[in-house]
Chain A
Amino acid sequence: MSALTDRLMSRPVWLRLAGRARRTGRDWLDSEGPRWTFVVKTLIAAFLALWIAFCLGFDSPRSAMMTVFIVALPSSGMALEKGVYRLLGTLVGCVAALGFVGMFPQQAMLLFISLAIWAGLCTAGSALMRNARSYGFVLAGYTACMIALPALSRPLDVFDLAVSRATEISLGILCSAFVNDVLFPRHQSEELVQKLRGLYLSFATLCSESMQHLLPEAELERRHLDFATDVAALESQRAASVFEAGDIRIRSRQLHAFSLAAMAALTTFHTLHQLMERLRRAGGSTIPQLMQPLFNEFNTAMLIGDGLARTAAEAEHTRLRFNALFRSMPGLIEATRRRHAPALDEAQMLDLETALELLQRLGAEFRSLVSIYASLPANLARIEADAAALPPAYSQTTPPGIVLAAGLRNGLALLILASAWYALNWPSAAGAVMIATIFCGLASSSPEPHRIIHSTTLGFTLATPFAFFCAFFMLNRVEGFDMLVLSMLPFLAAGAYLSTWPLYAGVGVGFNLMFAQMVAPENLMRFNAISFINDSMAQIIGLLIAGLMFALILPEHRQGSRRHIREALWHEASLACITVSPHLRHLFENRIRDLLNQLGMIRIFDEATRAIVNEAMVLLELGHAVISLRRATAAHADTPPEVRQGIEALARYFRQPQARTRQAAIAAAGAAMDRCQVVAATNLLADLHLIRTCLLDTTFDPDTRPKENDNAA
């Protein structure tokens, strides 16, 4: 036996066991550690809020506790962001409730109608935004109902109700913010850096694979969807990081510039890739082979060693290589042109010129992307220099049909239920009205409202027997706050732990909310089994009714509805032909990517989704070509009128996508090209050629495409 084995064998047993225990412990910490940290910090914040609420003698201490469960999110930034918007929404809702009750005291129908309009407007605002702000909107809507509905029979109490609600919510938010940010900080900005690196890496990989013909077919659409999702995630993480202590908020501009540069470069890359693919599909063209040496140059410049830049420091190297490439590129292009021009006919020459133009654009855009990436960790003094070029922020907007439907659904639900409550004479029904309104609002910014409502219903139902047991078999025997904590702790810990699993998050949050709501810890506990059963039934019925509302009122108009997204895509393309804005290119790019992100939300990647992504990408190419044409024609007053007519024909086609308008657009583009060749306006030729090839491409034909079945979503 070797000496080493001898030594190992001679190690005492307890030492070996300790080593094994340490390894097991580390494994457990890596996998379960973050979950239990979350549980511990949520419970500390919840009981802290409850304790302060008891000390200050609040009317309903449970609201403070429930607020903590609602804003409990893994990272500090996200918890702070949600807390701030919850606070703002509550304040706005309180003021609105005071206004409504002041206008219609004890006028049930008028109050219901005004509340329904208010809640509908707030929900529409929330469906429009789809970020943390949308939560504030929902809250403004339902807080008004929560205060105004109980005030119907006793209008003089409305001010006290509003003040106590606002105080309880603020207390919950302060406790949650303190615990999440100070005691257990987990900075969102660190995840943001990872996301940023991932975004660059996925784009560079896509370029590299395409240039080496390694990209599998049918993979492109999926990558575009993933990319759109990543850009949206980057934006939401940035928005959350702003609330953390640190310097993300002054880097917002840089981050916007980064995602815009990445989107622009991706579009140019896609256009070039599609041009090459179309030429290859048509067969017989030598252009792809002629371009290959240039592609190889480009690909080599992207690589560091045999990989791509993984960090900003490595991106600095890539930037230097791209600067070198940028200097040698005109020479390479000129050489390619000179060598191959004699052997090509006029049509092939046009293809070559277009491809070269696109490659040049891609080179410039990739260079600016890499420069922004490399300058991200740099000192802030360098940023001020290029702050003049203010890029528009990435903004999310849902198609209007979905927004209106969400508002209408919530308003109608509230009106119907509140009238039913008024006629029914079941005191607990107010709880059902409230819950239905809350969930009609909350679920309307999700592509799967049924899933949210289903899992929350499950959580509510599960929590009811446990809450009954805790309230009527444990709390009635104990005395003091510490015993209260001990009796509630196991149930709430289980709920919080459940909410750390993505699949059961809704169940866990629903469980804790219902548990705190039904146990209702108060300074002077009230034990009333009849009202317990009534209230818990009302809560669950409210959720079921919310689910029913989603099934009955405009069920097809939900987030990620493919029909609406497709209409919005064509509308955006037609806007690109007429809107006047200095940032039109970025705005258009943002809108299309945002719509793609919404399409990605439904997480169904079938033929119909692929077809829409494909359509979106062709519209993106067309839109960019039109915008570049419009910029060129605005700069030169002596542009031939045929170019302007071509743009108009294209705009008509975007407004009415039919075979007739399409033929007209193709003819107009052809006429404009002929005219440009006569007057030697070569700068316009590449864009016109792109438009014409896109329109002639038979794979892009919205008329012949089979009607997608939206029910599948």
Chain B
Amino acid sequence: MPREFDFLGALVPGLLPVFLLSAVVHIGLDWACGHYGVYRYVWHRSLFRICMLICVFGLLNALLIK
């Protein structure tokens, strides 16, 4: 993924699609954590959740952005 790309004539930062992708992955992870009761063992559920989002976003950035 380049740093910026041309989307229908508008320059879009490459981070935006990566962020959207990580949001989708995060929604799936969040659902799974709720379903398998992970949140029961977590002290601060919201903090845990946002940290998860940051980890996913960072990981995808490291993997996808050139």
Asked if B34 and A245 sit within 8 Å, CB to CB, the answer is yes
For the A-B complex, the count of residue pairs with Cβ-Cβ distances under 8 Å equals 40
Asked if B37 and A245 sit within 8 Å, CB to CB, the answer is no
Asked if B46 and A245 sit within 8 Å, CB to CB, the answer is yes
Partner of A181, one of B10, B30, B46: B46
Does B31 touch A at the CB level, under 8 Å?
yes
Q: Which residues of A have CB within 8 Å of B33?
A: 245
Does B47 touch A at the CB level, under 8 Å?
yes
Distance to closest chain A CB from B51 (angstroms):
9
Q: Which residues of B have CB within 8 Å of A249?
A: 31, 34
- Residues facing B in A241-265 (CB within 8 A) are 244-250
Distance to closest chain B CB from A207 (angstroms):
34
Given A245-B30, A245-B45, A246-B45, A181–B50 Cβ distance below 8 Å? yes
Asked if A247 and B39 sit within 8 Å, CB to CB, the answer is yes
* Docked complex Cα distance between A246 and B37 (Å): 8
Q: Which residues of A have CB within 8 Å of B49?
A: 181, 245
Partner of B50, one of A178, A246, A250, A379: A178
Does A532 touch B at the CB level, under 8 Å?
no
| Closest chain B residue, CB of each to CB of A379 | B37
- Residues facing A in B2-56 (CB within 8 A) are 10, 30-31, 33-35, 37, 39-40, 44-50
Partner of A380, one of B37, B45, B46, B50: B37
| Closest chain B residue, CB of each to CB of A181 | B46
Distance to closest chain A CB from B47 (angstroms):
5
Asked if B39 and A245 sit within 8 Å, CB to CB, the answer is yes
Asked if B10 and A159 sit within 8 Å, CB to CB, the answer is yes
Task: Tell me whether chain B's interface is mostly helix, strand or loop, or mixed.
Answer: helix
Chain A 228-250: CB-based contact to B (< 8 A → 1; otherwise 0): 00000000000000001111111
* Docked complex Cα distance between A247 and B39 (Å): 8
* Docked complex Cα distance between A178 and B46 (Å): 9
| Closest chain B residue, CB of each to CB of A381 | B37
* Docked complex Cα distance between A483 and B49 (Å): 34
Partner of A245, one of B10, B35, B48: B48
Asked if A246 and B39 sit within 8 Å, CB to CB, the answer is yes
Asked if B50 and A182 sit within 8 Å, CB to CB, the answer is yes
Asked if A76 and B35 sit within 8 Å, CB to CB, the answer is no
Distance to closest chain A CB from B24 (angstroms):
14
Asked if B34 and A250 sit within 8 Å, CB to CB, the answer is yes
Distance to closest chain B CB from A50 (angstroms):
21
* Docked complex Cα distance between A178 and B47 (Å): 9
Partner of A182, one of B35, B37, B47: B47
| Closest chain A residue, CB of each to CB of B9 | A159
Q: Which residues of A have CB within 8 Å of B30?
A: 245
Q: Which residues of A have CB within 8 Å of B44?
A: 182, 185
* Docked complex Cα distance between A76 and B49 (Å): 13
Partner of A247, one of B34, B46, B47, B48: B34
* Docked complex Cα distance between A591 and B45 (Å): 36
Asked if A250 and B35 sit within 8 Å, CB to CB, the answer is yes
Distance to closest chain B CB from A558 (angstroms):
37
| Closest chain B residue, CB of each to CB of A185 | B46
Asked if A247 and B50 sit within 8 Å, CB to CB, the answer is no
* Docked complex Cα distance between A249 and B37 (Å): 12
- Residues facing B in A240-298 (CB within 8 A) are 244-250
Asked if B37 and A247 sit within 8 Å, CB to CB, the answer is yes
Distance to closest chain B CB from A190 (angstroms):
12
* Docked complex Cα distance between A246 and B39 (Å): 6
Q: Which residues of B have CB within 8 Å of A76?
A: 46
Q: Which residues of A have CB within 8 Å of B10?
A: 159
Centre residue among B10, B34, B46, B50 by max chain A CB count within 10 A? B46
Distance to closest chain A CB from B9 (angstroms):
9
Q: Which residues of B have CB within 8 Å of A246?
A: 34, 39, 45
Distance to closest chain A CB from B44 (angstroms):
7
Centre residue among B10, B35, B45 by max chain A CB count within 10 A? B45
Chain A 137-180: CB-based contact to B (< 8 A → 1; otherwise 0): 00000000000000000000001000000000000000000100
Q: Which residues of B have CB within 8 Å of A250?
A: 31, 34-35
* Docked complex Cα distance between A245 and B49 (Å): 7
| Closest chain B residue, CB of each to CB of A163 | B10
Q: Which residues of A have CB within 8 Å of B47?
A: 182
Centre residue among A178, A182, A244 by max chain B CB count within 10 A? A182
Distance to closest chain A CB from B8 (angstroms):
10
Q: Which residues of A have CB within 8 Å of B50?
A: 178, 181-182
Q: Which residues of B have CB within 8 Å of A159?
A: 10
* Docked complex Cα distance between A421 and B61 (Å): 48
Centre residue among A178, A245, A247, A249 by max chain B CB count within 10 A? A245
Q: Which residues of A have CB within 8 Å of B35?
A: 247, 250, 380
* Docked complex Cα distance between A182 and B49 (Å): 9
| Closest chain A residue, CB of each to CB of B51 | A182
| Closest chain B residue, CB of each to CB of A248 | B34
| Closest chain B residue, CB of each to CB of A80 | B46
* Docked complex Cα distance between A557 and B63 (Å): 57
Distance to closest chain A CB from B19 (angstroms):
11
Q: Which residues of B have CB within 8 Å of A244?
A: 45-46
Distance to closest chain B CB from A183 (angstroms):
9
Q: Which residues of B have CB within 8 Å of A185?
A: 44-46
Q: Which residues of B have CB within 8 Å of A181?
A: 46, 49-50
| Closest chain A residue, CB of each to CB of B34 | A247
Distance to closest chain A CB from B4 (angstroms):
14
| Closest chain A residue, CB of each to CB of B40 | A247
* Docked complex Cα distance between A250 and B32 (Å): 10
Q: Which residues of B have CB within 8 Å of A380?
A: 35, 37
Besides A159-B10, A248-B34, 9 other A-B contacts (C-beta < 8 A): A181-B46, A181-B49, A245-B30, A245-B33, A245-B46, A245-B48, A247-B35, A250-B35, A380-B37
> What would be 29 A-B contacts, judged by CB atoms less than 8 Å apart?
A76-B46, A159-B10, A178-B50, A181-B49, A182-B44, A182-B47, A182-B50, A185-B44, A185-B45, A185-B46, A244-B45, A244-B46, A245-B39, A245-B46, A245-B48, A245-B49, A246-B39, A246-B45, A247-B34, A247-B35, A247-B37, A247-B39, A247-B40, A249-B31, A249-B34, A250-B31, A250-B34, A250-B35, A379-B37
Instruction: Write the residues of chain A forming the contact surface with B, with a CB cutoff of 8 angstroms.
Output: 76, 159, 178, 181-182, 185, 244-250, 379-380
5 tightest Cβ-Cβ pairs between the two chains A and B: A245-B45, A245-B49, A181-B46, A247-B34, A182-B46
